[in-house]
Structure 1
Amino acid sequence: MAIAIRDVREHELDSVLALNNAAGPTILILDSNRIRWFFDNADYFRVAEVEGHIAGFLMAMREGSDYDSPNYRWFCERYAAFAYIDRIVIAKPYRGLGLGRIFYADATSFSEVRVPVLSCEVFLEPRDDVSVLFHGTYGFNEVGQQIMPGLGKRVSLLAKDLPSFDFVRSTYLDGPTGQLPNQPWLAQRKRQGSAAPRRAAGGL
Structure 2
Amino acid sequence: MTIEAISPGDEAAVLALNNEHAAELSWLEPERLSHLIGQAFHARRVGSLDGFILAFDQTADYDSPNFVWFRERYPRFVYVDRVAVAAHARGRGIARRFYENLFAAARMAGHEVVTCEVNLDPPNPGSDAFHAALGFFEVGSASLGDGTKTVRYFERSLKD
TM range (shorter): over 0.9
Q: After the TM superposition, which parts of structure 1 deviate over 6 Å for at least 4 consecutive aligned residues?
A: none
TM (normalized to structure 2)? 0.95
Q: Which residue is 1:121 aligned to?
A: 117
Q: Which residue is 1:11 aligned to?
A: 9
> SS state of the match for residue 91, structure 2?
coil
Maintained 8 Å contact 2:37/2:54? no
The residue type equivalent to 2:76 in the other structure is: A
Number of residue pairs aligned between Structure 1 and Structure 2: 159
The residue type equivalent to 1:61 in the other structure is: F
1:130 aligns with 2:131: no
Higher helix residue share: 2
Maintained 8 Å contact 2:39/2:61? no
The residue type equivalent to 1:132 in the other structure is: D
Tell me how far apart the structure 2 counterparts of residues 24 and 74 of structure 1 sit (CA, whole Å): 21
The Cα offsets for residues 139-192 of structure 1, whole Å up to 9 and x where unpaired, read as: 00000000123563110100011105xxxxxxxxxxxxxxxxxxxxxxxxxxxx
Tell me how far apart the structure 2 counterparts of residues 45 and 66 of structure 1 sit (CA, whole Å): 15
Tell me how far apart the structure 1 counterparts of residues 17 and 41 of structure 2 sit (CA, whole Å): 20
Higher strand residue share: 2
Q: Which residue is 2:60 aligned to?
A: 65
> SS state of the match for residue 74, structure 1?
helix
Q: Which residue is 1:95 aligned to?
A: 90
Please identify the structure whose Cα radius of gyration is greater: 1
Tell me how far apart the structure 1 counterparts of residues 148 and 75 of structure 2 sit (CA, whole Å): 27
> SS state of the match for residue 136, structure 1?
helix
> SS state of the match for residue 127, structure 1?
coil
The residue type equivalent to 2:128 in the other structure is: V
Unaligned runs of 5+ in 1: 165-204
TM (normalized to structure 1)? 0.75
Instruction: Please give the residue correspondences for 1:174-193 in structure 2 after superposition, counting only pairs within 5 Å.
Output: none
RMSD (CA atoms): 1.2
Unaligned runs of 5+ in 2: none
Q: Which residue is 2:73 aligned to?
A: 78
> SS state of the match for residue 62, structure 2?
coil
Q: Which residue is 1:56 aligned to?
A: 51
Q: 1:92 to 1:79 in 2, by over 3 A?
A: same
> SS state of the match for residue 67, structure 1?
coil
Tell me how far apart the structure 1 counterparts of residues 148 and 69 of structure 2 sit (CA, whole Å): 16
Q: 1:151 to 1:46 in 2, by over 3 A?
A: farther
- Return the offset for 1:113: 2.3
Maintained 8 Å contact 1:23/1:91? no
> SS state of the match for residue 142, structure 2?
strand
Correspondence for 1:153 among 149, 154, 159: 149
The residue type equivalent to 1:104 in the other structure is: Y
